[in-house]
Amino acid sequence: MSRRLPRTEGPWAWLAAGSVALSLLLLGGLLLLLAVRGLGHFWPASVTLVELEDGRLLAGQAVRELPLERQAGRERLYFTGNRDLDGHVWHWLPVATIVASERPAELVVLERRRHGAFIGRLVAVGEADSLASAQSREAAWARLEAQLAELQELRDERERLRRDVLRPLIRRLDARPDDTAARQALAEANARVRELQQAMGGQAALLESVDGRRLVQPLDEVLRAWQPNAMSLGEKVGAWSQGVWRFLSEGPRDGNTAGGVWPAIFGTVMMVLLMSLLVTPFGVLAAVYLNEVAHQGRLTNLVRIAVRNLAGVPSIVYGVFGLGVFVYGIGGTLDDWFFSDALPSPTFGTGGLLWASLTLALLTLPVVIVATEEGLARIPVQQREGALALGATRLETLTRVVLPMAVPAMLTGVILAVARAAGEVAPLMLVGVAKLAPQIPVDGEFPFLHLDRKFMHLGYHIFDTAFHGNDVQAALPLVYATALLLVLVILVLNLTAIFLRHYFRSRHGVQPRP
Amino acid sequence: MIEPPNLASAPRLPWRRRLDRLATGLIAAGGIGVIVAVMAIGAFLVVEVLPALFDGRLEMERVRLALTPMAWGTLKAALWAMLFAVPLALGAAIHSALFMTRRLRSRMKPTLEMMEAMPGVVVGFVAGLVMAPWVERHLVGVLTLMLLLPLGVLLAAGLWRRLPSGWRRRLSLARAGLWLVPWLLLLALATFSLAPWLEVLLFGGDLRVWLDRELGLDYATRNAMIVGVAMGFAVMPSIYALAEDALSGVPGRLGEGAHALGATRWQTLWRVVLPAASPGIFAAVMIGTGRAVGETMIVLMASGNAALMSLSPFEGMRSMAAGIAVELPEAVPGSEAYVLLMLAALLLFIFTFLVNTLAEVVRSRLRRRYRWLGGAA
């Protein structure tokens, strides 16, 4: 009797399994890279004090290590800050030339409004003109923290004044220039702001880089200060979560290389909201027409296939259409008719929020139509027959029976459309996205929502910061963080859509098109 | 789809009928309007381009000079992307349609569909700014890995046959898509730690110098290979999803018949299931090609955008979509450059629309055939 050989599948089956594994590996690798680099940026990394062979001293955060070009050994990249002292913020050091490295607790990192970060020692804090006397390290640090907290309060106060008092007064004066009461109030508020400004100045810190150069830093330019080597794990976690929060809630600084992405989040959300307001009714309308009203013949089927195919047309083509029809065509005409006093600078004849939303609505219409149609086709035909048999008209059948049952499908379609729109960048480059929009499209000025304004967008922010920035190396961590944010938003939207579709299918079962 | 009953016999409620007529009319008008608006895209591009072509504003010679490199770049990018994506997607589709357990499959499909949702700008950023410089430094390792990955999988298969049967059951082929992940990771780590040694041994220490000297190949940091992998990553999920649908839609009786005659699963696949599903797989590849041709951000960010005409995987290119995205905002409406870019957009539109229509027709034929096969068997 021959031994029974195990039935084997041969090499190709294993290669097929390998391609599944490779795809998973690629996807996981991409997500992991984004998560680690994006979230790691906010961690207050330790600062290393490095002594080199030639006696130079450097303090900085080690970023990464690479093998040397055409030589044995490795080199390490340090972020050393101090752009005002050194002229640059990065140092590549061959590892072999490093004699000693330690992490002294007294090193401070200051985040400043100008020149970026400072890394070094704190000597003294006090009035700008009497800084000579050296203080003990603890006393100087405690004083710095107190001063910074006080400054933050003053800054908040000034922001509040500007927002709540100054801007409304200016608007009142714009409307009625002879309003003397408002004029007086404005003068008072301005004086108060000047007072606050004055209170902010005056204080300064005497800083010393690790190689002994000193500089006097006015404190009103310092945003935050920390001593990373002296922080405990809990403090670091706290600083990390504050960093994440600031990234989400602040505007960009330093040519998009620092600060946060709040205007980009806001612009993306506004654009997507407007787009879904446009796409939902029209998409549902077209789907209802195709599935419930139109005669189901060859022509309808052709139209159905064509609509489905439009989902596969490249997004850049939609962008070209938006630019040619919305911006130059309709926008140019609107400018000629209503905004001719502002010409030749265009109002609607250039890219803006409205045109971007319209273009993306057109781009995502096929998605909504296809998803809604699928939902409508799944509704058992008996439901419609029952309603009609009870004497309902077609409209009543539609609004009372068919549409309520198709709501999850519509929702799925809209969510998929939103997920697609949030990730599209190419058409936006043609119809209205901006590198840096100082004004977000919503404010207290009439008509509150400015559809003609350009806006910032998360996806375009990634492209622009990564490819057109001055210091890509410095901006890279923020690009990672922005990319992670965008991916998370889109993944959550898609998961919701998948869940909804699954729920809907399992509830109604599969009904093939009759 | 269902005609309402004739309500003429109920004169009590004429307003309901009138309302119904009105609403139906409105829905029809609105629906037709929306569909016409969506279809207006093609009409708009034709209207912009055709007059310029015929009234001599655009000379054929200029069109040829301007569009040939871009068309070349588009096709080259799509070609390299498909070289990466098609084997990967078809392999994954075959594995998950025929070998995976139902439970694992229902998890795997959404996961791979997540890949499709990855925004192009993120993939392009990672490819252009992270992967491209890294690959440039580890070129030998990357190229070796491309050769070694399939061999490594086969090695795993060979080792698997020597495992005790308990282990073999635990690490079954049905779950191979999962447990091969750490194996591949291990393989990659080993390759990269051996690569410098290999580079010294085979290429005199620097592959890029060797390529230049021996083969005359120039190496650009952002090149077709990077674009191929990145865009392959982006289009692979849509090919996978459609091919998987086609494969798993093949009526089960066909496969069962083959199994009953003693065929292994792979033989069943190769001789029975694959021929039956081949139109669907063709459609999947067509739709993938359409996506690869139109993808903008990945090519823009990872290709270097130099209008070169070469087939070399180590040189960049400029595609039509990227060209439009970069140049159109600066082109003056009505100028020659503007019309040229419109022509490029029209070509993209026509190409993708035709490819998708072909795929859709093939798919609907296939669905009919499956119904017939499933019913008649």
pLDDT band at B126 (very low <50, low <70, confident <90, very high): very high
Residue A7 has pLDDT above 60, yes or no: no
Longest dimension (CA), chain A: 113
Q: Which two tokens stand for residue B122?
A: 């993120």
pLDDT (mean) for B282-289: 91
The ipTM (two decimal places) reads 0.87
Query: Does position B251 have pLDDT exceeding 80, yes or no?
Result: yes
Distance of residue A368 Cα from the nearest chain B Cα, in angstroms: 12
Q: What is the DSSP letter of B304?
A: B
B49 and B130 fall within a common domain: no
Amino acid at the residue A464: D
- B133 occurs within a structural domain: yes
Q: CB-based contact (8 Å) between B256 and chain A?
A: no
Q: Of A313, A365, A369, which has the smallest distance from its Cβ to B353's Cβ?
A: A313
Domain A262-508 - what CATH class? mainly alpha
| pLDDT > 50? residue A73 | yes
- For chains A and B, what is the number of CB pairs under 8 angstroms? 335
Is residue B67 located within the same domain as residue B100?
yes
CATH number for the domain harbouring residue B326: 1.10.3720.10
**Residue B51's pLDDT band (boundaries 50, 70, 90)?**
confident
Task: Answer whether residue A512 shows pLDDT above 50.
Answer: no
Which one of B57, B77, B101 terminates a domain? B57
pLDDT digits (tens, 9 = 90+) for A420-458: 888 888 898 888 777 666 556 666 565 666 777 778 888
* Residue B313: HSE in the Cβ half-sphere, 13 Å Cα cutoff: 15
Are residues B32 and B126 both part of a single domain? Answer: no
Confidence (pLDDT) at A513: 42
Counting the structural domains of chain B, the total is: 2
- Nearest-angstrom CA–CA distance, A456 and A472: 19
Nearest to B122 by CA among A229, A465, A396: A465
Residues B265 and B309 placed together within one structural domain of the fold = yes
Residues B297/A426, Cβ–Cβ less than 8 Å: yes
* B165 in a structural domain: no
β-partners of residue A426 are: none
**DSSP string computed for B40-73:** HHHHHHHHHHHHHHHTTSS-HHHHHHHHHHHHHH
The pLDDT, as a whole number, for residue A3 is 42
User: Are B133 and B29 contained in the same domain?
Assistant: no
Q: Determine the structural domain holding residue B329 and report its residue range.
A: 63-138+216-376
Distance, in angstroms, between B123 CA and closest chain A CA? 8
Of A362, A395, A498, the CB nearest to B38: A362
Kindly report, residue by residue over A298-340, the tens digit of the pLDDT.
888 888 888 888 888 899 999 999 988 888 888 888 877 877 7
Are the beta carbons of B238 and B283 closer than 8 angstroms?
no
Q: Do residues B41 and B73 share a domain?
A: no
Contacts of B324 in chain A (CB under 8 A): 316, 319-320, 430
Instruction: Classify residue B78: in a domain, yes or no.
Output: yes
Amino acid at position A12, single letter: W
Residues A419 and A279: their CA atoms lie apart, in Å, by 13
Tell me the sheet residues that pair with A98: A52
| B92 lies in the same domain as B26 | no
Kindly state the greatest CA–CA separation across chain B: 96
A7-30 mean pLDDT? 86
Is the CB of B161 inside 8 Å of chain A's CB atoms?
yes
Q: Are residues B231 and B290 in the same domain?
A: yes
Return d(Cα B316, Cα B309) in angstroms, integer.
Answer: 9
Specify whether the CB–CB gap between B289 and B348 falls below 8 A: no
> Each residue of A138-175: pLDDT tens digit?
888 888 888 888 888 888 888 888 877 877 787 777 77
Cβ neighbours around A277 below 10 Å, total:
11
The residue extents of the domains of chain A are 48-102, 108-246, 262-508
Question: Could you give the CA distance from residue B364 to residue A283 in angstroms, rounded to a whole number?
Answer: 23
Query: Does B346 fall in a domain?
Result: yes
Q: Would you tell me how many other CB atoms lie within 10 Å of the CB of residue A454?
A: 22
With an 8 Å Cβ cutoff, are A8 and B161 in contact? yes
| Contact call for B24 and A514, based on CB within 8 A | no
Predicted local confidence at residue A105, as pLDDT: 83
Are residues B77 and B121 both part of a single domain?
Answer: yes
The reply to whether B252 falls in a domain is yes
Q: What are the residues facing A203 on neighbouring strands?
A: A127
Separation in Å, CA A245 to CA A154, A262, A460: 21, 10, 21
Does residue B167 sit within a domain?
A: no
Chain B contact present for A324, CB below 8 A = yes
Residue B15's pLDDT band, with cuts at 50, 70 and 90, is confident
Calculate the average pLDDT of chain A.
Answer: 82
Q: Cα–Cα distance between A223 and A110 in angstroms, integer?
A: 7
Minimal C-alpha gap between B73 and chain A (Å): 16
